[in-house]
Amino acid sequence: MSASVIEAMAEAARQGGNPSSVHDYGRRARGRIEAARKDVAAMVGAAASQVVFTSGATEANVMALCACGRDRVLVSATEHVSVLDAHPTAAAIPVDADGVVQPSAVRTALGEDGTDAIVSVMLANNETGVIQPVAEIAAAAHELGALVHSDAVQAPGRLPVDMAALDVDMMTLSAHKVGGPAGVGALILRDASLLRTDTKGGGQEKGLRGGTENITGIAGFGAAAKLAAAFNGADEITRRRDRIEAEVTQEVPDAVVFGSGAPRLPNTSCMAIPGIGAETQVMALDLAGYAVSAGSACSSGKVKTSHVLLAMGTDDDVARCAIRISLGPETSDADIDGFITAWIDLIHRLRRSAA
């Protein structure tokens, strides 16, 4: 988190107040929440009235898919686990070898009539960075009467996001993916009447999520959203990501870069070194001072084969060797130099010892 995000949270905590109260403290707390609501909405080209704050993206995803009143739930095979596991009868839409959902696959999955269905396709994948053609998918689904939801948590601050242009009915966001605090998210609704939740309480968040709002977290989310909306350093991050991939594949010709044939986020690279397990790489790089992941970072600390790569048709043995490398605005060329050296040295050392 940036200093401005931390300060926004500290100010909210110092001020206190219940945003549902009508006295001065309550009105000031309400003002902070509504200011943050505007900033989060502006980050994705939405209106403040469309934003419902949640405890995070997982809650928003579950709310979207389980409270929309549609009997059929169709999700892409490469979704985050919070979407895959949100609904007990969710059916998977296949992806191609680069992890892209084709609009034709959505039409096939929906059949002749989608009026009883909701389709959920993430804007950008959290493991490979692959960007989905969400606007085209939404057009195909809407033609058949389906609702469309997109988990967009990975996209803001990395590529322009415009909810109206994407033409989705619901969009999920997360504060900690844009430099805000963990434990805060949002569901952006085209129309609040799309959902019917069972949450009871004080009627907060348009009656969709009862309970006193997380004022400090929401204040941090708003501050982070302003920074994400203004960020313009994607080209530099892309250059650094591409340098990692180019130098490692030149030195290790059998290295695999996943999703390289599709548009990707600038900050994410998913690569496999055949024959060297992901867990071994993660631990060795951690000892060298570099934090990388094996698959999603949201799987309770477990290192297991990525369902995303398996859905892309990747051989199981290769998928078990894949790690995800993430870059940020503060990542420097010196960081890239050190990481490439450490990773290549590790690969050669492990392969020599296995020979």
Active-site residues, by number, are 298
CA 333 to chain centre: 25
Phi, psi of 39 (to 5 degrees): -70, -40
Residue 218 CB neighbour total at 10 angstroms: 29
End-to-end, the C-alpha distance of the chain in Å comes to: 44
Handedness of CA 98, 122, 182, 10 (dihedral sign): positive
Integer Cα distance of 226 and 221 in angstroms: 9
Residue 37 CB neighbour total at 10 angstroms: 24
Structure token pair of residue 232 = 């313009």
Helix 24-43 to helix 215-230 angle (10° resolution) is 30
Integer Cα distance of 149 and 145 in angstroms: 13
Closest by Cα among 155, 180, 181 to 168:
155
Contact in structure between 348 and 267 (CB atoms under 8 Å):
no
